Structure 1
Amino acid sequence: MASSNTQAYLTKLKTLSDQLVELQRPIRILDAIKWPIEAQERFFAAGGKRLPDIGRDFYERHPLTFDRHKLTEAFRELDREVVRQLGQQDALGRILRDTIDQYRLVLEMLGARGTARFGELSRRLYGSPSDCITGDNKTLLDVGQELCRVFSLPAAAQLAPSSKRQLDATEATAYLSARMDEYFGAGTVNVTLSDDIVSDAAAGGDSLKLNRRSLFTPQDLNVLEVHEGWVHIGTTLNGRAQPWATWLSVGSPRITAIQEGMAVLMETLTFSSFPKRAQRVSDRVVAVDMAERGADFVELFRFFRDRGDSEQDSYRVAQRVFRGGTVTGGSVFTKDISYVKGFVENVGFIRSAIFAGQPEMIPLLYLGKLTLDDIPALQEHLQLGHIVPPRFLPPMFKNLNGLYVWFGFSSSIAGLDNVRVRKHFSRLFGDKKPSSASRAPKQS
């Protein structure tokens, strides 16, 4: 039974956590910077030659749904309250304060929509392609460019999807509802159609929304099941199950890289992804870098279109980068670097946990919305019974044997001289070109 001091501490922690959850509730970053579908229609009607008419005036005509100044002051007061009640040095209190500070920066960023300041604050929150990978001197852009090269090799084009049948959003909703029921339990996750989202799908809380206008392949749905369902919704529900640390159910930008990186890793571990999907994820790092360096919306759109992407896909990647910023370039939304950044950092964490003899740290990635730096403090409180283990875990995180072996082998061969290995096998392959009959896998 917990001592009176421990119970008092946990009660304070929950009260402060609940206040943070409540304060952040009206903040919806993507909703605050989204573009209307009419912007796309006007852009294509002009032949893709004119910059979208979305600047500071547009965002002023679409004000935030809350008073950001009052909310900022409320976060300041909560920060002071965390220090008063938990002290400056409390480990969980520091995580709370870091999260509070993030939301204050978010509010400042949203107040600067359509200006140069927006991009500066986005870089503070999400980072930049010029940042070095944690523990390495390679930049994120270096990694992104290499991945783009790999996923655009001729072999990738030969790996045509096993099925090109397009499913409409209603069919996709029925399929994903059944898959969510199987994983989470009947009725736990609500899959619905939406007219309000720009992307194909979006997860929020215990719901998954599909864009009513989108078409999907079976491969797309496999990705959505594990990316949005197992990771984003799963960690939300695990966070909601926390008895005291309730803030683990909500995510400020500090947790975005780990979330998106784990989602991409899960696509890979389940073999749900495919080269074109992986290329799109890698392209986002290059796109953010180009826009940060001054490329405008039309230039970025043309770069991807001229490379061979569809006009729709080219517009979409450019829109993701420029939303909230300035369409003339320089000030952009850098969140899209998080997918590659988080993937690399999660892989590094899992490998390090294995070699440190602490594989039990790995499932803690699913405790809720967290960063890698949070894990030691959370593990300590897990051992004390203040944090509960994650309920929803993908199978390879429940039984770590396969994951251990996979990362063990991949770590061991990582030091090989890949250039020499490729040269050896290139002699075996010779100059043979793939025949038309072998360019796509046979359909079963």
Structure 2
Amino acid sequence: MPNPLENYQQKLRTLSDRLVAIQQPIRILDAIKWPAQWREEFFARGANTPPPADKAYYQSIPLGFDLNQTRAELKSLLSDIKKELGKKDPLGLILQDTTEQYLLVMDLLKDRGTTGFIDHSRALYGSAHDHLIGDRRSLKEVGEHLCDIFHLPAAKHISFAQPKLYDAEQSVGILQSKLDGYFTRHNVQVKLSDGIVSDAAAGGDSIKLNTRSKFSDRDLHVLEVHEGWVHVGTTLNGRAQPYATWLGVGSPRIAAHQEGLAVLLETLTFASFPARARRISDRVTAIHMAEEGADFLDVYRHFIAAGLSQNDSYAVAQRVFRGGRVNGGAVFTKDLSYVRGFVENLNFIHSAISAGRPELIPMLFLGKLNLNDIPVLYGAYLSGIIDPPQYVPPMFSDLNGLYVWFGFANGMHLIDMERVQGHFIDMFSTIPSVCPTIMSPTATQDVEL
């Protein structure tokens, strides 16, 4: 007589593997990317004419799969999940939601370069007007607050040059050595690539470095924890699952968790710095402007006026308008994921500690997931259906330091910071304003992820 648990596990694995296979050729960013030469052409024309990213351009980019056929396969899978696992099975509901996300992706890709693009983008990644989980503030408000912090004079005061000492080939060797010590059960490769627009990009079990880019020690530290520990690590943890293999692939529903967790790891390892954090918060402002009707040139000129370089201003505008319409009316809202995810992951950790449930925190690294999935996934772990993550960063595998850090941070709300700051500001006024050489204000740039 068949074992009911084994029967359920096999159904879950079969359905999960089907989703993994269907989504394999879907590459959202590849379907909306801009050629690298557009940047040079934009500046050659005096930065007065937006790049020629229109509907015809996007429709000329091959998807590598048939939209209608893939849509039909997803609908068939969705029906089978409900039939095989039941409409209310907890793990089945996550699988259903993930499948439905890919159906929305079909609509997003179909409407590239049209006004309908923004509706699908909002459905997948949200809007700057959205509120954070359990909070009254909108992403726009949080982004503005962070921009204010990272625009303070102190941010520039402590910045000092990080020379880009290593070309791409040298950087491959250095980063490979760093990751070999972390990924002890898998062969994670660092490769050169001339087919990516950014400086670096993570694949399933690899990280690609742009052959045209140069890197600093700080850049490589960021790549180690952001692309390596988080993006590659959670992919491998998800792929190692015996039944829930969908946890090894990333639909848009997991974007905020992934990008926010990556930014959080940069912060906890002290890899990040003000100019990089400002870039991430600036993206929220750019998306809000575009949602309110600004076009590519409006956004570009806003950041030029705010003190960003020409290249950085172009990069922010490019990320927001890729896939949409450069003359306004349709934007790509994925970059809200960094700020949203950072705050929501931080709040999750804080809440897990306060509620006496710190054992939930390592589940953040289980695979490609949404924070709301964790109670179900943890229950499945206790039932033996889900395996624990193989790769967990050191501060999350031994939670003692993290617990103390959050404990002290929580205690700070008892202090009247306005009164305290007033005391110290008065004291600082008697100190000569001399900037040490190591903290001299210089322009700093970071790797573009």
Query: Normalising to structure 2: TM-score of the pair?
Result: 0.95
| CA distance in structure 2 between the partners assigned to 1:3 and 1:406 by the alignment | 49
**1:83 is matched with which residue?**
82
Structure 2 counterpart of 1:354: 353
Query: Which residue in 1 is equivalent to 2:236?
Result: 237
Partner of 1:297: 296
Asked if residue 257 in structure 1 is aligned to residue 253 in structure 2, the reply is no
Cα displacement string for residues 422-442 of structure 1 (whole angstroms, at most 9, x for unaligned residues): 22221111165631336617x
Q: Which residue of 2 aligns with 1:280?
A: 279
Q: Per the alignment, in what secondary structure is the counterpart of residue 191 of structure 1?
A: strand
In 1: Cα distance, 2:120 partner to 2:105 partner? 8
Q: Is 1:159–2:174 an aligned residue pair?
A: no
Query: In the alignment, which residue of structure 1 is the partner of 2:386?
Result: 387
Instruction: Return closer, same or farther for 1:331/1:421 CA change in 2, 3 Å cut-off.
Output: farther
Comparing 72-81 with 306-315, greater Cα deviation is found at 306-315
Tell me the equivalent position of 2:306.
307
Q: Which residue of 2 aligns with 1:178?
A: 177
Structure 1, 224-233 or 142-151: larger mean CA deviation? 142-151
What one-letter code is carried by the residue in structure 2 that aligns with 1:428? M
- State the shift of 1:317 in Å: 1.0
Q: Are residues 412 and 18 of structure 1, via their aligned partners in 2, closer, same or farther at CA, if it must alter by over 3 Å?
A: same
Q: Which amino acid aligns with 2:199?
A: D
Deviation at 1:57, TM superposition (A): 1.1
Q: Which residue does the alignment assign to 1:94?
A: 93
1:408-419 residue pairs with structure 2 within 5 A?
A: 408-414=407-413, 416-419=415-418
Counterpart contact for 2:281–2:339, Cα < 8 Å: yes
Q: 1:118 corresponds to which residue?
A: 117
What is the CA-CA distance between 1:158 and the residue it aligns to? 1.7
AA aligned to 1:19 is: R
Distance 2:199 2:432 in 1: 36
How many Å separate the matches in 2 of 1:241 and 1:149?
A: 42
Contact 1:231 1:263 in 2 (8 A): yes
**Closer/same/farther in 2, CA of residues 154 and 380 from structure 1, 3 Å limit:** same
Q: State the alpha-carbon separation in 2 of the partners of residues 72 and 119 from structure 1.
A: 20
Q: Secondary structure at the match of 2:334?
A: helix
User: Any idea what the Cα deviations from partners look like across 1:297-340, whole Å, max 9, x if unmatched?
Assistant: 11111111222222111111111110000001231000001000
- 1:129: Cα distance to partner? 1.0
Summarize the Cα distance change of 1:126–1:416 in structure 2 as closer, same or farther, 3 Å threshold: farther
Aligned to 2:338: 339
Q: What SS is found at the alignment partner of 1:132?
A: coil
The equivalent of 2:13 in structure 1 is 14
Matching residue of 1:270: 269
Aligned length: 441
- The separation in 1 between residues aligned to 2:286 and 2:214, in whole angstroms, is 24
Q: Secondary structure, in 3 states, of the residue corresponding to 1:407?
A: helix
Who is 2:318 aligned against? Answer: 319
Instruction: Describe the shift of the 1:91–1:53 C-alpha distance in structure 2 as closer, same or farther (beyond 3 A).
Output: same
Deviates more, 1:133-142 or 1:306-315: 306-315
1:308–1:73 CA distance, 2 compared to 1 (3 A) = same
Q: Any idea what SS the aligned residue of 1:184 has?
A: coil
- In structure 2, what residue type is equivalent to 1:232? H
Distance (Å, rounded) in 2 between the aligned partners of 1:433 and 1:317? 37
The alpha-carbon deviation at position 153 of structure 1 amounts to: 1.1
Segments of structure 2 that go 5 or more residues without pairing to the other structure are 441-449
Partner in structure 2 of residue 220 of structure 1 = 219
Counterpart in the other structure of 2:143: 144
Q: Is the 8 A contact 2:157 2:435 kept in 1?
A: no
The superposition leaves residues 137-182 of structure 1 with CA deviations (integer Å, 9 ceiling, x where unpaired) of 1111111111111111111112223632432111211111111111
Q: Kindly state the Cα deviation for residue 185 of structure 1 after the two structures are TM-superposed.
A: 2.7
- Supply the distance in 2 between the matched residues of 1:3 and 1:426 (Cα, whole angstroms): 73
Cα root mean square deviation, aligned: 1.7
Conserved 8 A contact 1:158-1:439: no
Residue in 2 that maps onto 1:67: 66
Quick one: distance in 2 between partners of 1:328 and 1:166? Answer: 39
Alpha-carbon separation, structure 1, partners of 2:56 and 2:275? 36
Q: Is the 8 A contact 1:239 1:369 kept in 2?
A: yes
Structure 2: distance between partners of 1:335 and 1:414: 32
Partner of 1:106: 105
Tell me how far apart the structure 2 counterparts of residues 335 and 198 of structure 1 sit (CA, whole Å).
Answer: 17
Alpha-carbon separation, structure 2, partners of 1:67 and 1:54: 22
Identity %: 54
Asked whether 1:434 is paired with 2:437, we answer no
SS at match of 1:419: helix
Q: Counterparts in 2 of 1:367-378, with a 5 A limit?
A: 367-378=366-377
CA shift, 1:295, in A, is: 1.2
- Equivalent residue number for residue 395 of structure 2: 396
What are the superposed Cα offsets for residues 6-43 of structure 1, whole Å, 9 maximum, x if unpaired?
Answer: 00000000000000000000100000000011221221
Other structure's SS at 1:436 match: coil
Contact 1:161-1:219 at 8 Å conserved across structures: no
Which whole-Å CA distance do the structure 1 matches of 2:161 and 2:217 have between them? Answer: 9
Q: What SS does structure 2 have at the residue aligned with 1:208?
A: strand
Q: For 1:415 and 1:217, how far apart are their aligned partners in 2?
A: 40
| Contact residue 260 and residue 345 of structure 2 kept, 8 A | yes
**What letter corresponds to residue 110 of structure 1 in structure 2?**
L
Structure 1 position 89, deviation (Å): 1.0
Q: Deviations over 1:244-266 (max 9, x none)?
A: 00000001000000000000000
- The unaligned stretches of length 5 or more in structure 1 are none
Q: CA, structure 1 residues 401+250, in 2 after alignment: closer, same or farther (shift >3 Å)?
A: same
Letter of the structure 2 residue corresponding to residue 330 of structure 1:
G
Conserved? CA contact 2:78–2:96, under 8 Å: yes
**Deviation by residue 1:385-411 (Cα, 9 ceiling, x = unmatched):** 111100101000110000111111112
Structure 2 match to 1:328: 327
Question: Aligned partners of 1:356, 1:341: CA distance in 2, in Å?
Answer: 22
